[in-house]
A and B are shown apart, each in its own frame.
With several copies, the nearest count.
Chain A
Amino acid sequence: MADLNVTFAGVPFKTPVVVASGTFGFGREYGEIFDLSRLGGICVKGLTLRPRLGNPPPRIAETPMGILNSVGLQNPGVDRFIEEELPYLKTLGTNIIANISGETVEEYAEMAEKLSDAGVDLIEVNISCPNVKAGGAAFGTSCDAAASVTRAVKRAARVPVMVKLTPNVTDIAEIARAVEDAGADAVSLINTLLGMRIDINTRRPVLKNNTGGLSGPAVFPVAVRMVWQVRRAVKIPICGMGGISTGEDAVEMMLAGADIVAVGTALFRDPFAAIRVTEGIVRYLDEHQIENVTEITGKVLLN
């Protein structure tokens, strides 16, 4: 069987398949359904310095082969996460990636410090949440802001730092270069595309928050394109995501340039999606007699 080991930003992953932040909570629920040690890693629900209740419901709307969500970073705050959730997560035998959002650069840095001390494997810096007013995507749409968050987190963190990019920009490669120059160890992309659905009978947006983030298979071709663009722009490794639901999708994303991939929304349709994606990658590698999954990253042959 093909070797799935990948060293990503210096961290060993036993498979290149992780689950995407916000779609997997802190692991407990899916842990009842399958063995979480089969995952390459878990990106936990986005954390903030203080607890957040998130946005009012409804927080989800269905779209053609996708969903909009407007959860708005509901979470118990970084301290309670470290106290109540991380000890459990550490027992799972998989990498734990802390996803952090701040309203200010200082908040990002403070969280990075706490989480480094607490011993997560990787920090994912979310500068791309479309569902919060302060911070969030505002940091992700400007090279300067993205770079300054990255620099601050890098100074504070003692574990590798991955910066999560938003697709809602004119030139994602430019932002990727800015965070690479600012010291990021890796980038992840894409976060959700900003979208809206309206109930034509009530005339009100389906989401109480009016707009939300689009994810799921619908966005897959956009995500592949962006991963490919970023691959050509930076040298640091990429965690590719956005609409992956099969092993074939994951292989496509890796050919475009992803070193590892994340599975998110697909879990809502198939709770075993991440496992099936992993199995699909193995099948592809074996059929094509590829020994190590790292051999396919970025290996698209342009026409």
Chain B
Amino acid sequence: MPVLTLAAVRDVRQLSASVWKMTLYSPELARPAKPGQFVHIKCGEGNFLRRPISVCNAQGDTLTLVFERKGAGTRYLSERRAGEKLDILGPLGNGFELRKGRYLLVGGGIGVPPLLYAAKSAESADAVLGFRTKDAVILEDEFRAACGEVTVATDDGSYGTYGTIAAPLREMLASGGYAGVLACGPRAMLRAVAEICAEHSVPCQVSMEERMGCGVGACLVCACKTREGGARAMRRVCKDGPVFWAEEVCW
């Protein structure tokens, strides 16, 4: 049951050249929030649409969001100050399906933050986190605290393992024993993760992105093409997702 609420900004700080972390006080949002869900934020008077941002963490009455400054909306968010209020609709979407067991979390770039809350909520978890370069690495300490094994990879090898998440993912899956994989990141990465998981027969959930209107499932703009038992369907990222079973997505 999403609510529309004014959440109080507690803190906004920069994590890297283009990524910010925002802490909000909002029992209405923080308490019901599940890992993989998102909130839909009004970004001032100049930006017509709300912006979807995933829950990075929810603890007690506090909600944490981590976002990249891309355009006017996220710029607006990055310029908020403690004490201001934000008009937020949420929590929205289905979130990850978490059962018992050990999960492997696979994140790429700004797809990393939503996995933190999953890491904290899972019975146990390992993580493979991919970034472009050393300066883009975020939340490593937080993941190390919440996970068992954490592998950081950078595309240019400037930090951690050299290359994409594919090699470490293969290795860790080969070692076996995962109840499932939860992935969030660029579409090309998700597709690769889906394929690797299929090879290893590990159930894989992916968190998809699409441009949104209503955020609640009514306007059908956030379509994700899926197949379910042979039939093609257009599902709503905001309501049926953002988390989908990897094998259902038409990549």
Contact = CB atoms under 8 A, between A and B. Distances in A.
CB atoms of A and B under 8 A apart anywhere in the complex?
yes
Interface of A: 22-25, 28-30, 32-33, 45, 53-54, 56-67, 69, 71, 74, 206, 216-217, 265, 267-272
B70 to A, nearest CB: 11
B213 to A, nearest CB: 5
Nearest to A53: B234
A67 B215 CA distance: 14
Nearest to A32: B1
A59 B211 contact: yes
Contact of B223 (A22, A59, A65, A66): A59
B198 interface: no
Contacts of B214: 23, 29, 267-268, 271
A268 B223 contact: no
A265 to B, nearest CB: 8
Interface stretch (B11-19, B41-49, B117-125): B41-49
Contacts of A45: 220
What secondary structure prevails in chain B residues at the interface with A?
A: loop
B55 interface: no
Contact of B213 (A28, A69, A74): A69
B221 interface: yes
B192 interface: no
A268 B217 contact: no
Nearest to A25: B218
A206 B220 CA distance: 16
A263 B239 CA distance: 22
25 contacts: A23-B214, A23-B218, A24-B218, A24-B219, A25-B217, A25-B220, A33-B1, A45-B220, A54-B234, A56-B225, A57-B210, A58-B210, A59-B211, A59-B221, A59-B222, A60-B211, A62-B47, A67-B48, A217-B48, A265-B213, A268-B213, A269-B50, A271-B89, A271-B214, A272-B4
Given A216-B48, A267-B214, A268-B49, A69 B221 contact: yes
Contacts of A272: 4
A79 B233 CA distance: 17
Nearest to A73: B220
B164 to A, nearest CB: 22
B48 A65 contact: yes
Interface of B: 1-2, 4, 42, 47-50, 89, 210-225, 232-234, 239
A267 B42 CA distance: 12
B1 to A, nearest CB: 6
A67 B213 contact: yes
A28 B1 CA distance: 12
B41 to A, nearest CB: 11
Given A32-B2, A74-B234, A267-B218, A60 B48 contact: no
B211 A33 contact: no
Contacts of B4: 33, 270-272
Contacts of B224: 57
Given A32-B1, A56-B225, A57-B224, A268 B219 contact: yes
Residue of B48, B89, B216, B217 with highest tally of chain A CB at under 10 A: B48
Nearest to B1: A32
Contacts of B212: 60
Given A69-B213, A74-B234, A62 B49 contact: yes
A74 B223 contact: yes
The interface centre, meaning the residue of B1, B210, B211, B225 with most chain A CB atoms within 10 A of its CB, is B211
Contacts of A62: 47-49
Contact of A69 (B1, B2, B219, B225): B219
